[in-house]
Amino acid sequence: MKLTQSQIHQFEKDGYLFFPSLFTPQEIQSLNIAVPELYDREEAYNIRERGSRAVRTNFAAHMYSTPFGKLARHPRMVQPVEELLGEKLYMHQFKINGKMAFEGDVWQWHQDFGTWLNDDQMPTERAMNVAIFLDDVNAFNGPLMFIPGSHKKGVINAKHDLTTTSYPLWTLDNDAVSQLVTRSGNKNGGIVSPTGPAGSMILFHSCLVHASGSNLSPWNRVSVYLSLCAVSNHIRRFKRPEYIAHRDFTPIICLPDDCLLKDFEIDLPWKNGMPQSALVTNDLEHKSIT
């Protein structure tokens, strides 16, 4: 999928692009039918909400699930990021975030690159997120919120919040968020929240400030997030487990555009179980691609 010049300019200005209904209902169904079994697994890669059995985040499904392994190689997701970064990509992180009905907790205001820099020693912000709605997203089930143009501020000072939710984040304080919203238009577009049907996709800059509220509605809001990084920009530290921050910097090779609806032989390294090595961490810098 090739971006238009207008889309490239819009991304540079706002820090995100929204593609409503980019994937068909049939393609999304092929993914949705796999989610319940993945969420049922008692594995370290399933992070649950505080005090609940509801899954907050499932990590690394592309390593052990055929439908999500195909999605990780889908050209509609990978090629636009390759075009914007001008380089081949590797998968830094793969998540299925489950903002479940009545139970989905907040994601505080943050920049993803802030976490990747502080925890993983990713050198620069040459990485992006791509999100796909597996459910319809509306104003009531905890949609993503962005501060347009906030990516231009670069890395903003943040604190490591270890207590608000079950998953730690490097988060921005209220004053910083208020200033960014005011600069971005305050009540006239200072915060935006793309909503739309299942199959819609958002591409957003790793420094774009974003958050989402609790899901108090009776509707799930499950989304897939691919964090794609330029190969030359690979992480230098393995402080976090491999199922959270991947250490294989091999460039992604895309499958055909219809891959979600057809059988394709793909490599699933963790199909028979996550290896113990995926839990090993250290603070040593990684000097070269291996």
Over residues 31-83, the pLDDT tens digits come to 999 999 999 999 999 999 888 889 999 999 999 999 999 999 999 999 999 99
Average pLDDT over residues 226-242: 96
User: Is residue 286 domain-resident?
Assistant: no
The CATH number assigned to the domain holding 13 equals 2.60.120.620
pLDDT in tens, 35-47: 999 999 999 999 9
pLDDT score of 288: 42
User: Which residue type sits at 278?
Assistant: A
User: Is residue 287 domain-resident?
Assistant: no
pLDDT in tens, 108-144: 898 999 899 999 999 999 999 999 999 999 999 999 9
Res 192 pLDDT > 60: yes
Percent of the chain with pLDDT over 90: 79
Q: Say if residues 16 and 131 touch (Cβ distance below 8 Å).
A: no
DSSP 8-state class, residue 284: P
Residues whose CB is less than 8 angstroms from the CB of residue 40 and which lie 6 or more positions away in sequence, other chains included: none
Q: DSSP 3-state assignment of 10?
A: helix
Return the closest-CA partner of residue 141 out of 242, 38, 220, 51: 220
User: Which residue type sits at 180?
Assistant: L
Residues whose CB is less than 8 angstroms from the CB of residue 75 and which lie 6 or more positions away in sequence, other chains included: 1, 254, 255, 256, 257
User: Is residue 168 domain-resident?
Assistant: yes
Q: Say if residues 242 and 90 touch (Cβ distance below 8 Å).
A: no
pLDDT score of 149: 94
User: Is residue 61 domain-resident?
Assistant: yes
Q: In the predicted model, what is the mean pLDDT of the chain?
A: 92
Q: Which domain holds residue 60?
A: 5-279
User: Is residue 42 domain-resident?
Assistant: yes
Tally of domains within the chain:
1
pLDDT in tens, 254-274: 999 999 999 988 999 999 999
User: Is residue 166 domain-resident?
Assistant: yes
User: Is residue 285 domain-resident?
Assistant: no
Please report which helix (H) or strand (E) contains residue 223, including its range: strand 221-230
Task: Enter the pTM of the model.
Answer: 0.91
Return the closest-CA partner of residue 199 out of 169, 167, 222, 231: 222
User: Is residue 284 domain-resident?
Assistant: no
